[in-house]
Amino acid sequence: MNILITGISGFAGKHLAWHILNEAQKFSEKKCLIYGFDLSLPETDLQRQIVYCQGNITVQSDIDEAVRKANPDIVFNLAGMAFVPDAEKNPINAMQINALGVVNLFQSLLNIKRDARIVLISSSEVYGKVDASKQPITETVLADPVNVYGISKLTMERFSDYYIRTCEMDASILRPFNHVGPGQSDRFVLSSFAKQIADIEKGLSRPVLYVGNLSPYRDFTDVRDIARAYWLSALHGKSGEIYNICSGQKLSVRHVVDELIRQAKVHIDIEVDSERYRESDTPLFIGSSEKFKNETGWIPEFSMEDTVKSVLDYWRS
């Protein structure tokens, strides 16, 4: 079985590759050969176990070459601009990468490997602001994005729907909510806090954790559970369907900070940084993954305590 992962050097891409290498092959009748497509090489220990295809998903010839080389049975499209503020700063790039990139991918598969099974990674950001009365958010809630990132992901979904219906391509769309875990950039909230604590433990910073608004409630899922969900979607997801991937648990950012402080090896005070503080326009954002669970049997396995420990250990090392 040949598998192509675009965006393999990214946060979720690396975890997906490790999951397939370490777990999925135990249950597969055929050996999985992974081809990774990205702008740059992934971490060294992963390089030795995949076939790497360097390229840019916005360049048609690059993705054509990768598809020809991989001749994939399954394709995971994780290539994309992942940080919401980056999309706000450069909306043209966000649309080119997140939306038009998937058009390039579909065109390649249409011409080279039409029968491939495709898993497309969208985002919960497509929902925009959702009233608390409509939460937990199901797939039936109207997609109404309020930022460039969400718009680019919804545009990707619309293009995908065209290829699924008109060209009869076999693809499903996943909408992951907040996912966290080891290896995530410190531009994201939990990883940022964990890095601060690791620096404090090493004596590199004062014993103060600088935070912003801790009141919003979010739906956090460990990236290792996310990777497992992606794999199960390839095996059991239905073509043309949209699935939320989330824990369904309501946790405040304050709860996450308290758990980080509890696991810290030294005493740490919390201080609100005015430059980090933002009044949240979405105080509550919780999803429902019941549809996906019912069709695939997926259940998150990692608790927030497990996730916090793994992220702290990542920055400690």
Under CATH, to which class is 2-181+220-248+285-300 assigned?
A: alpha beta
pLDDT of residue 281 exceeding 90: no
pTM of the model: 0.94
Mind listing the pLDDT tens digit for each residue in 142-165?
999 999 999 999 999 999 999 999
Q: Which residues pair with 270 in a beta bridge?
A: 209
Residue 124: which of 258, 18, 242, 22 has the closest Cα? Answer: 242
Residue 40 has pLDDT above 90, yes or no: no
pLDDT tens readout for residues 228-254:
999 999 999 999 999 999 999 999 999
Answer whether 152's CB lies under 8 Å from 95's CB.
yes
Residue 48's pLDDT band (cuts 50, 70, 90): confident
pLDDT-derived band at 31 (thresholds 50, 70, 90) equals confident
Distance CA 172, CA 165 (A): 12
| Band of residue 24 on the pLDDT scale cut at 50, 70, 90 | low
Cβ–Cβ < 8 Å for 4, 35: yes
Is the predicted pLDDT of residue 204 greater than 80, yes or no?
yes
DSSP H stretches of helix in the chain: 11-22, 44-47, 60-70, 84-89, 91-94, 101-112, 148-166, 189-201, 223-236, 253-263, 290-296, 304-316
Confidence of residue 13 (pLDDT cuts 50, 70, 90): very high
> pLDDT at residue 172 above 80?
yes
CATH topology of domain 189-216+250-284+310-316: UDP-galactose 4-epimerase; domain 1 (3.90.25)
Residue 274 has a pLDDT of: 76
| Pairing of the two strands 251-252 and 217-218 | antiparallel
> What average pLDDT does the chain have?
93
CB 82 within 8 A of CB 11: yes
Average pLDDT (218-224) is 97
Give CA–CA dist 120/156, Å, rounded.
9
- Average pLDDT of 129-145? 96
Q: Of 98, 31, 114, 112, which is closest to residue 67 (Cα–Cα)? A: 112
Residue 221 host element (H or E): strand 221-222
Percent of the chain topping pLDDT 90:
87
Place 28 in a pLDDT band, splitting at 50, 70 and 90: low
Rounded (10°) CA dihedral 196, 198, 204, 208: 50
Query: What is the reported pLDDT for 208?
Result: 95
Q: Are 37 and 6 in contact (CB under 8 A)?
A: yes
Q: Where are the domains of the chain?
A: 2-181+220-248+285-300, 189-216+250-284+310-316
